[in-house]
Structures are given as C-alpha cells and as structure tokens.
Amino acid sequence: MRVFLLFIIVGLISSCSGINKVLKNKDPEYKLRMAEQYYVKKKYNFAQTLYEDIMPHFKGTAVFEDLYYKYAYCAYYQKDYLNAENLFKNFLEVFPNSTKAEELDYMRALCYYKLSPKVPLDQSNTIKALGMLQTFINTHPGSTRNKEANEFIEICHDKLEEKERIGAKLYYDLGQFRAAGVSFSTLLNDFPDSEKCDEYKLMVIKSYYKFAELSVDERKVERFEQVITECNDFIDRFPDSKLVKEVERYISLTNDNIKKI
C-alpha cells in the first residue's frame, strides 16, 4: 500500500514538474502543442492552464476559435459546470457564426442540467435547465439533439413534480390540511399531464375533508360543501379512475357529517 501511494506521489510531482517547465517556456506555439497533447490525454487541468496562458497571444488568429472551444470543454470535463456554461456562452458571443454554435448552445443547457441536484434540494438549476433546453428546441427545431433534450426536459419535469409533491405531502403529514389542499391543487395545475393527477386530486379531497372535520361548528357546513365540490370535480375529470369509489366514499362521509351539524 505504501509503495502504491509512493508511486502516486512521484507521479503527481512529475506531472506538476512537467507542466511548470512548459509554462516557463517562452514559445507560445510549443505551449499550444503541449496543451493539445494534454487535451488528447484527457489531462484537462493541465490543458486548461496552458490554454489560459497562451490565449492573449492567439486572440484574433485562425487557431483562436478551436483553442477557446477546447478551453471551455476543459472546464466541462472537470465538472466545473457553472464556469463551463459561462465559457460556452462567451464562445457564442465571440463566434456567433461558428459551425459549433448549435453544439455549444446545447452544452450551455446541458451544464445546468448537470447542476440539477437531487429532489430534496433547491431546484433553481433544474428550472434553469428546463427553460434553456426548451429554448434550444425552439431555436433549433431540426437539431438531432432535440430527442435527448426532450428526454432531459421530461426528467426535469418529473423532478420538479416530485419536489412539489413532497412539499404538499409534508403539509398533510404535519396536520396543516388547508395548506395541503392548496398545495395539492397547485400541484395539479402545475402538472396537468401527470399520470398522478387523480391521486393529487384525491389528496385535495382528503385534505379539505380533514380541514372541515377540525373546523369550528359554524364553519363546518361551508367547508364540507367544498369537499363535495372537489369530489364532483374529481368524478367529472377522472370518470375512469380506479379512485372513483374512494371519492364516492368521501361524498357519503361528507354528507353524513353535514346532516349531523
């Protein structure tokens, strides 16, 4: 184990020594060749360092576009997605007519998709990714990348839906039934094409039923009537749902409660 670690340390020292020697060299053409070699070998941190060093020298030359293209990808391949997105954006501003413009326009959106976190966390980057992917599809309707873009959009939608569902369910579990009813209604409106729409609507009914049950007597009738309204709306919207019988049970329970008041 110690021998293995020693080899790693020696390798790192050797690599760092190598890049430092290249950086000290005064010939930008040599540095460019070395940067290309590092890039091909997937040593993106070294390639990035060299590209950055020689960029002022090659700015405005025939090789600058390819240099900047690879420089941006160095950040992407190192999973520095926020920086990569900014570099892809800058590339498009400097080279708007590049043959690589469509590719890097897509890569900008992909960077935000890569930054999209797990469901429980803040989904700002997911929303950003979704918007940028949709914009890409709209601006490049014939792109071969659109199939993948649509798949990523679907994943983003599912993630946002699940995030919102968890929030609504939390209100219900905490006994904040009015807030749960509102949240599940919002969820239903935000994701009208979801396969779980009937489940969300049932949770609206359950939430408002619980809310009515716990209300003071003088407010119970109007709140139970709201439950009936939600139940009727469910049957109108989802007549073939397997949950219809459960909804009919809530209609019966609600009517019984109204009669007792």
| Predicted pLDDT of residue 261 | 84
Q: 129: closest CA among 149, 101, 158?
A: 149
In a shared domain, residues 85 and 74? no
| Predicted pLDDT of residue 12 | 38
- Note down pLDDT in tens along the chain; length 261 residues: 553 433 333 343 445 567 999 999 989 999 999 999 999 999 999 999 999 999 999 999 999 999 999 999 999 999 999 999 999 999 999 999 999 999 999 999 999 999 999 999 999 999 999 999 999 999 999 999 999 999 999 999 999 999 999 999 999 999 999 999 999 999 999 999 999 999 999 999 999 999 999 999 999 999 999 999 999 999 999 999 999 999 999 999 999 999 998
Contacts of 164 (CB under 8 A, 6+ apart): 183, 186, 187, 190, 191
In a shared domain, residues 62 and 85? no
| Predicted pLDDT of residue 16 | 59
In a shared domain, residues 191 and 255? yes
CA distance 50 to 58: 12
In a shared domain, residues 89 and 131? yes
In a shared domain, residues 100 and 120? yes
- Give per-residue pLDDT as tens, 148-185: 999 999 999 999 999 999 999 999 999 999 999 999 99
As a whole number of Å, the CA-based R_g of the chain is: 29
Give Cα separations from 23 to 17, 32, 45 (angstroms): 10, 11, 13
Last residue of a domain, one of 104, 128, 163: 163
Q: Provide the whole-model pTM.
A: 0.86
**Burial (Cβ within 10 Å: 0-12, 13-18, ≥19) of residue 139:** exposed
In a shared domain, residues 89 and 137? yes
Considering the domain boundaries, does residue 209 fall inside one? yes
Give Cα separations from 243 to 70, 132, 239 (angstroms): 55, 37, 9
The label of the residue with tokens 């999209």 reads 116
Torsion of CA 125, 126, 127, 132, to 10 degrees: 90
| Range(s) of the domain holding residue 211 | 175-261
Considering the domain boundaries, does residue 121 fall inside one? yes
Considering the domain boundaries, does residue 10 fall inside one? no
In a shared domain, residues 182 and 158? no
CA distance 200 to 249: 17
In a shared domain, residues 184 and 227? yes
> Number of helices and strands (H, E) in the chain?
12, 0
Q: 226: closest CA among 250, 198, 193?
A: 250
Considering the domain boundaries, does residue 135 fall inside one? yes
Considering the domain boundaries, does residue 212 fall inside one? yes
Distance between first and last Cα of the chain? 78
Last residue of a domain, one of 30, 51, 78: 78
Last residue of a domain, one of 128, 163, 198: 163
| Predicted pLDDT of residue 17 | 65
Considering the domain boundaries, does residue 9 fall inside one? no
Considering the domain boundaries, does residue 192 fall inside one? yes
In a shared domain, residues 27 and 109? no
Q: What is the CATH number of the domain that holds 139?
A: 1.25.40.10
| Predicted pLDDT of residue 1 | 53
- How many domains are there within the chain? 3
Considering the domain boundaries, does residue 15 fall inside one? no
In a shared domain, residues 159 and 95? yes
